[in-house]
Chains A and B, each alone.
Chain A
């Protein structure tokens, strides 16, 4: 596991993805700090990280993390080096976790550099270090969760470019989710219909993944039936359900409270859960590859 981690980290560092990620992240954060804190006179570094929709450092993640994670599994498969990984006497999850930790380490480097910014700002005035470092931690964890998503997407394809573009698309969608969510009709009936459509989508995805029509159809029917039952018994549950769910998965938006000095533990837990979930999904996706 250590060997894989070292190799992966090395590949990030020699293969430019690590350097690009760190440099771009630091450059943009530096600009935001200069604009908000040094010129604008905001006393909190957290504002530069997450203060303003679009115009703060967390948007940089949308652009750099796809670059950081696009290779991780896709390139192994493309170069057929995944054959070596599968043949190693290591459980697959260790391999994926090693890859994931390497990407997170690359992310930790610019975050560590950013840890000097509040100290720097402290030279010019009063800084609330606790809230700034809390925000930086959340910022780092957001990046870690996004890395897991990126690696998962990378494990679905053989092409780095496709991996990068799809990851970018997902991140943009997540980033602008707070704008989209209110547009979705919030009546219970509309939510019910959307949930039914999701059940169909689930069945279609299952059919594609397992090539087992009977199982896919029965799962779809079961989920739809459960939804219908809930709708019949308690239609109120569906009220506003979809917009709420969509806002719920808006990863980036969860960072906003940190800019006003709050330490939102639910966001931290949410990021960690996301990371674990997508690392697990990556393991499943790689495991599935052995069965194809």
Chain B
């Protein structure tokens, strides 16, 4: 159990974290998501005790990190952004050092080292000097160090950075496994990773929590519509007429491209799949569909929506007189993409809402190795994929 209340961290005149509050229940894998420089690492550093907060309260496993830092630290395993490794030791020696410094000794120490080596797949690399290890294996040693003493809480700051796809899969399954009997906080700016591994997501932007919820709720809450992206051969007028005639389509953007090629973006209400109707309408009109792709709201969209730069007067930045940071933050400003009110009617159709929860839709090829763009088909160029790849 981690409870953070009104956490503020200032570096000189710069406020990195502004009144962040959240709590993570036991046995939950919680993902910190946010653009670079949003305050993820700072928050994690404060929870792990490597940094002191300017204001606020952090209670870890019942220990206040200011009142009883030793108690708090002994229940946390922490992997900082850069794994804190001594290059002049072998991985095994290093782990033994960390174990001893954390109070293990004798058989227990070696058991712990062996288990950590096994869980992180270090294998024979445990006997190599850390300076000779590749980045991926160094990262593993860092993770091994964090889980060495089997702490109740494991905090991993960007654990999969620098790993190859196979290692990423392995580390993710390790994290999921850890999540069964540990509380895990991990940060990432790779959305696929968060979507795949985490139970709950905390989106941090500009030093504040933009959203904190389960993955399903987040996606549901911010979902506006499904979008069908079409390229057809025909004239724009006809295409618009047909598009408007499809039931469920609320908006159609028609754009004539060169040589009788028209691109259409049809927006439909959530839960309405208009693809079949669209296909038959166009087929009836003898207008060939050259390509069709289907987008649904993904974590990536939610993320972009929540973390986009908001106009902010500099005077706001040092405003700490507002401690009223809600536990579950409110809906952010409506997106400019939609003309309709974004207000999520969560309770209205609960049965349907669970449906887009799983990022890996059945109609999407399973490829967990590729971290980017879960639940979203390729080929749309409407925004640049900032993440992963």
Contact = CB atoms under 8 A, between A and B. Distances in A.
Contacts of B325: none
Given A14-B88, A80-B80, A87 B97 contact: no
B84 A81 contact: yes
B389 to A, nearest CB: 27
Contacts of A79: 84-87
A81 B85 contact: yes
B103 interface: yes
A11 interface: yes
Contacts of B102: 88-89
Nearest to A84: B84
Contacts of A84: 80, 84, 98, 145
Given A3-B101, A88-B73, A90-B101, A11 B88 contact: yes
B82 interface: yes
Contacts of B101: 3-4, 88, 90
A91 B70 contact: yes
A81 B70 contact: no
A291 interface: yes
Contact of B97 (A7, A86, A89): A7
Given A11-B86, A80-B84, A86-B50, A3 B100 contact: yes
A284 interface: no
A81 B81 CA distance: 11
A288 to B, nearest CB: 9
A80 B82 contact: yes
Interface string B69-109: 01101101010101011111100000001101111000000
A242 to B, nearest CB: 36
Nearest to B53: A291
A290 B11 CA distance: 11
A91 B101 CA distance: 11
A245 interface: no
Interface in B1-26: 11-12
A15 interface: yes
B323 interface: no
Nearest to B77: A87
A136 B127 CA distance: 42
A290 B48 CA distance: 11
Given A86-B49, A87-B76, A89-B103, A211 B12 contact: yes
Contacts of A87: 48-50, 73, 76, 78, 80
A21 B194 CA distance: 51
A7 B86 contact: yes
Given A86-B50, A88-B73, A290-B52, A2 B84 contact: no
Interface string A3-18: 1101100110011000
Nearest to A80: B82
B52 A291 contact: yes
A83 B11 contact: no
A211 B10 CA distance: 13
A286 B48 CA distance: 16
B51 interface: yes
Contacts of A6: 97, 100
A85 to B, nearest CB: 8
A292 B84 CA distance: 19
Given A291-B52, A292-B11, A89 B85 contact: no
A79 B87 CA distance: 9
A290 B49 CA distance: 8
A32 B35 CA distance: 63
Interface in A254-292: 290-292
Contacts of B98: 3, 84, 88
Contacts of A81: 84-86
A290 B86 CA distance: 21
Which of A7, A10, A292 has the most chain B CB atoms closer than 10 A to its own CB?
A7
Nearest to A87: B78
Contacts of B74: 89
B46 to A, nearest CB: 10
Contacts of B71: 89
A291 B50 CA distance: 9
Contacts of B70: 89-91
Interface in B219-267: none
Given A4-B101, A89-B103, A83 B50 contact: yes
A18 B318 CA distance: 49
Contacts of A90: 70, 101
A100 B82 CA distance: 26
Given A80-B82, A81-B84, A290 B103 contact: no
Given A11-B88, A89-B73, A83 B100 contact: no
Which of A79, A87, A91 has the most chain B CB atoms closer than 10 A to its own CB?
A87
A83 B157 CA distance: 12
A157 to B, nearest CB: 19
Contacts of A86: 48-51
B338 to A, nearest CB: 43
Nearest to A92: B69
B192 to A, nearest CB: 27
A5 B49 CA distance: 22
B220 to A, nearest CB: 37
B125 to A, nearest CB: 19
A39 B97 CA distance: 49
Interface in A60-102: 79-84, 86-91
Interface in B95-153: 97-98, 100-103, 145
A6 to B, nearest CB: 8
Contacts of A83: 45, 50, 78, 80, 82, 84
22 contacts: A2-B100, A3-B98, A4-B101, A7-B86, A11-B86, A80-B84, A81-B85, A81-B86, A82-B84, A83-B45, A83-B80, A84-B80, A86-B49, A87-B48, A87-B76, A87-B80, A88-B73, A89-B70, A89-B73, A89-B103, A211-B12, A290-B52
Give 4 nearest A-B pairs by CB, closest first.
Answer: A3-B100, A84-B84, A89-B74, A86-B50
Given A79-B85, A290-B52, 11 more contacts: A10-B89, A15-B88, A80-B84, A83-B80, A87-B50, A87-B73, A87-B80, A88-B73, A88-B102, A211-B12, A291-B52
